[in-house]
Structure formats: C-alpha cells, structure tokens
C-alpha cells in the first residue's frame, strides 16, 4: 500500500462528452481513495463553452487560481463552437498551458494485447508497440498571436487589394527546444533508451534550429540511442513499423497531428490518455494537467456512448506523475486491462462477440475491478 495522504485535484469537465468521461474518472479515483486510505479533494470549475456562456471567458481568472492552488488538474474536453466565434473554447487550454507553464505533453501509446484486432492496422504490425510522444506545447504556430509589446509574431487574416490573405508565425527559441528535448531523453532513460526527434529540417528554419539543438542535447545522453526523422517519414513509419519507436519528441503542430495518428494504433482515440507537465514541482511530484486526447465529440454527448477509458487512464497518469502514487496508478491500469480482456467494450470498440457497455457501465466495471485488485494486493 502507498503512503496515505490528502491531495487537491482541480476538475474541469468542459464540453461535449467531457463531463461524462470525467465523471467516470473521478468515480475510479474515489475507489482508489477508499481502498488506499487517501483523501482526494475535488474542486470543480467551468472551461470551454460552458465557461463562455456563464462567465464570458473560456476560463476565468478564478478557475485559473483554483488550478494553480491544486496538486494536479483533471481536464475533460473543450470545443464545439462555430468557426469565427469571438471567443473560442480552446482558448481555455492555451491559457492553462501558457499561464501554468505546461510545456511538455506526454502521450503514451500501448495497445492492449486483447484489442489488437480492434485497430485498422494488422495485428502483427502492432505486436510490441509501446511508445510515447513528447510534444512541445507552448511554442510554434499555435502561439503566433499578436501580443502587446511583442513585435513580429502576426497571426491574422487581413484584407489586401487582391483579396484576403492569412498569416501565422512559427517561432521557437533555443531554450524552448532544449527543455522539451531533455524531457524526452530523461524519459527514454527510464524506458528502452531510444529517442526519435521529428522535424521538417529540409524546409523550415525552425526545424533546422530544432535539429541543431537536439543534436547538441543528445551528447549529454551517450547511453540513449538517437535519430532524426522528417515528419512525413515519421507519419509513414508510425503505420509501417510502430514497434520500432520508443520516445518521439517533436514540436507543437507536428505533435498534434502525429499523436492523433498514433491513437489509431490503439484502436480508438477513446483509449489514450495524456499528461501536460511543467516546471513546477509539488510536494508529491510534478504539477500537471491531465486530459484524454479524444476531444469533445459533441455528436455523441449525453448519450452514454463515450468511451471513458482514456479519461480513466488519464487519472492514472495524474496519480503517477503529480501525486507520486505509482502503485495506485498501476492498479487502475491493470483494472482497465482486465476489463478489456474480459470482453467489455464501448461503442467505438465494437467487436463481434464482445459485450457493449455504456459510459457509466464501463466506468462502474473498472471501479469494481480497482476494488478487487487493491483488496487482493495482486498488483
């Protein structure tokens, strides 16, 4: 059993299926607290469309302060506004990442052996896949907005005599590149000791600098194998030979696209968690924001169809990285795996001969399995 403790968790369910899957993640965390004698204090806040409608902002200063004062943040999903809306729900994530300095997004991809047939990729290609993508979160094209006192970073649509034109600015500093690459190498040392740095150095100046800095940092890790890969080649190899990857590190836009592609190795985006970590250490670990990667999926919201597994595995990452509760995290992961092996599936994982469960029912089965595992000390 881990050391008993009291922890504060900010919960931001958000939009679409966010509240449904987050509810199940909290349900599983409550089962962990009960079994291991911990006390989790959940503080709820609005983000995304819900916050825009109630507070006029994608995330309020008050909610941001609650997050800042917590040990970790459990996040659902945001999105669903019409293009061209004055305030975008995604601004909540950008503000959290920038304001709380979450610069490193970790997305592990390890398909369940019981679900290799659920992927559109051949099972033999998926054998042994266990990779993690480290995505830089606070630089690049997504942060080219015009800021007061910061010249030369336009991101806008403007009218010219010839018609409209649009511009975005891709900016990276040497320091931003170095810190994310070091995260990747430190992770690789705990895993299979291989880093693949992904860029577009044959076209982009930012990638030329990225490659130069990554090469320099790699010299500090002689025990870790290191390679460069162009992003188009990486996209191909993720499908062709995914088991060859250990830790992939890349910039913001490339990471956004590659991680969605990599999610299909696991059969569904509803299976994959993520952690966004920063520089601040808490009493127990690294302060972080934890979210499933699947987005708000408004088309199935409120129908008890959403897969809660990504949100539940996200809660396990929260326990491991921010609260230092590794045994409890492993209990959740084992509970999820055992439920999958038992043949339980949600709608997105429909398989012949498997039992299809709703969001709440799947969450309940996993919580029950957590209780059984923790009680038997078999983890």
Render pLDDT for 29-68 as a digit per residue (tens, 0 to 9). 999 999 999 999 999 999 999 999 999 999 999 999 999 9
Cβ–Cβ < 8 Å for 31, 367: yes
Cβ–Cβ < 8 Å for 168, 223: no
Is the pLDDT score of 254 beyond 60? Answer: yes
Using CA atoms, how far residue 374 sits from 209, 267, 367, in Å, is: 48, 28, 11
pLDDT tens-digit map of 118-160? 778 899 999 999 999 999 998 999 875 545 455 557 888 999 9
Choosing from 256, 326, 354, 360, the catalytic residue is 256
User: How many angstroms from the chain centroid is the CA of residue 76?
Assistant: 11
223 is catalytic: no
SS (H, E, C) 314-355: HHHHHHHHCCCCHHHHHHHHHHHHHHHHCCEECHHHCCCCCE
Choosing from 7, 143, 200, 290, the catalytic residue is 200
Cβ–Cβ < 8 Å for 123, 114: no
Beta carbons within 8 Å of 163's beta carbon, 6+ residues apart: none
246 is catalytic: no
Is the pLDDT score of 191 beyond 70? Answer: yes
Beta-strand runs (E) in the chain = 6-14, 39-44, 72-77, 104-109, 131-136, 156-160, 163-167, 194-199, 225-230, 247-250, 275-281, 286-290, 344-345, 355-356
Q: How confident is the model at residue 185 (pLDDT cuts 50, 70, 90)?
A: very high
Helix, strand or coil, per DSSP, at residue 117: helix
Strands 275-281 and 163-167: unpaired
pLDDT at 377 (0 to 100): 53
**Nearest-angstrom CA–CA distance, 76 and 290:** 8
Choosing from 7, 36, 142, 172, the catalytic residue is 142
The structure tokens 């968790």 sit at 9
**Lowest mean per-residue pLDDT among 41-50, 307-316, 342-351, 363-372:** 342-351
Residue 379's CB is within 10 A of a number of other CB atoms, namely 15
Average pLDDT of the segment spanning 223-232: 98
Choosing from 260, 326, 354, 360, the catalytic residue is 260
Beta carbons within 8 Å of 46's beta carbon, 6+ residues apart: 12, 54, 55, 59, 60, 63
200 is catalytic: yes
Q: Is the pTM of this model over 0.75?
A: yes
290 is catalytic: no
Beta carbons within 8 Å of 281's beta carbon, 6+ residues apart: 287
305 is catalytic: no
pLDDT at 80 (0 to 100): 78
């Amino acid at each position: 059993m881990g050391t008993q403790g009291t922890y504060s968790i900010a919960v931001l369910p958000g939009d679409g299926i966010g509240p449904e899957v987050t509810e199940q993640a909290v349900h599983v965390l409550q089962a962990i607290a009960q079994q291991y004698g911990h006390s989790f204090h959940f503080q709820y806040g609005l983000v995304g469309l819900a916050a825009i409608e109630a507070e006029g902002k994608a995330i309020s200063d008050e909610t941001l302060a609650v997050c800042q004062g917590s040990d970790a943040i459990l996040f659902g999903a945001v999105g669903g506004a019409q293009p061209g809306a004055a305030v975008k729900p995604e601004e909540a994530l950008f503000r959290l990442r920038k304001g709380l300095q979450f610069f490193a997004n970790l997305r592990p991809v390890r398909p369940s052996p019981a679900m290799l047939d659920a992927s559109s990729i051949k099972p033999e290609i998926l054998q042994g896949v266990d990779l993690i993508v480290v995505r830089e979160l606070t630089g690049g094209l997504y942060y080219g907005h015009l800021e007061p006192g910061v010249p030369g970073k336009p991101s806008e649509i403007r009218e010219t005599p010839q018609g409209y034109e649009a511009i975005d600015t891709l900016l990276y500093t040497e320091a931003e590149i170095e810190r994310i690459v070091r995260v990747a190498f430190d992770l690789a040392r705990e895993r299979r000791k291989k880093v693949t740095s992904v860029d577009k150095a044959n076209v982009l100046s930012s990638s030329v600098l990225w490659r130069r800095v990554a090469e320099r940092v790699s010299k500090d890790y002689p025990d870790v194998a290191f390679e460069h890969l162009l992003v188009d080649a990486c996209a191909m190899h993720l499908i062709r030979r995914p088991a060859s990857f250990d830790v992939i590190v890349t910039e913001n836009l490339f990471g956004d696209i590659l991680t969605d592609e990599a999610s299909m190795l696991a059969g569904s985006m509803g299976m994959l968690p993520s952690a966004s970590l920063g520089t601040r250490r808490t009493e127990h670990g690294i302060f972080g924001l934890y979210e499933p990667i699947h987005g708000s999926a408004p088309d199935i919201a409120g129908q008890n169809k959403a897969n809660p597994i990504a949100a539940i595995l996200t809660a396990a990452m929260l326990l491991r990285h921010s609260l230092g509760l590794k045994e409890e995290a492993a209990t959740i992961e084992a509970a999820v795996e055992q439920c999958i092996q038992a043949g339980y599936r949600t709608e997105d994982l429909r398989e012949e001969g498997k039992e299809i469960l709703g969001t709440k029912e799947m969450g309940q089965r996993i919580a029950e399995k957590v209780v059984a595992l923790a009680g038997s000390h078999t983890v």
